[in-house]
Amino acid sequence: MEKPKTPETAATLESKEKGPQKMRKPPTPEELISYYESQGMDSKAASIKVIQDLQGILLRAIGSNARGKTANPMAEMSRKLDTVNTRLAILEMKLDTKPGYLDSLTIGVAAGATLKGIGSVFPHVVGAFGQIWNAVRSSSNARP
């Protein structure tokens, strides 16, 4: 079975007349459909053929970014999606291990009670920590 030639649009005819150009305008979908209809296809079959051509171009474009010439573009895309999925799973796992609002509040209340208990037992230790805290706070507020 012989493959039909690609349609020659006005842009490609113009480029043949003027010589080689760096970028030529691709045919519009209407031009492609009318080309396939002129080959004897009905409108639905021509539309399906245009979609198949566009999918083939898309897969070739994805495949050109693959590591090797023999690499399967679908396998490459699947590998990339697996990598993204793995990274998202790791991120989700890290977020799940972080304490929530209630957990943080509980930890703060427990830490405050512990410090108050230490303060009543060892007032000179709490006083020293207070002096350190005030020194750090005053030095950080003194900066412009």
Residue 73's pLDDT is what? 65
pTM summary value: 0.33
Other CB atoms within a 10 A radius of the CB of residue 70 amount to 7
What's the residue count for the chain? 144
Query: What are the residue ranges spanned by the domains of the chain?
Result: 10-64, 72-98, 101-142
> Model confidence over 20-78: pLDDT tens digits?
556 678 788 888 888 888 988 888 888 888 888 888 887 777 666 655 555 576 777 78
> Model confidence over 91-121: pLDDT tens digits?
788 777 777 788 888 888 888 888 777 767 7
Distance CA 18, CA 144 (A): 68
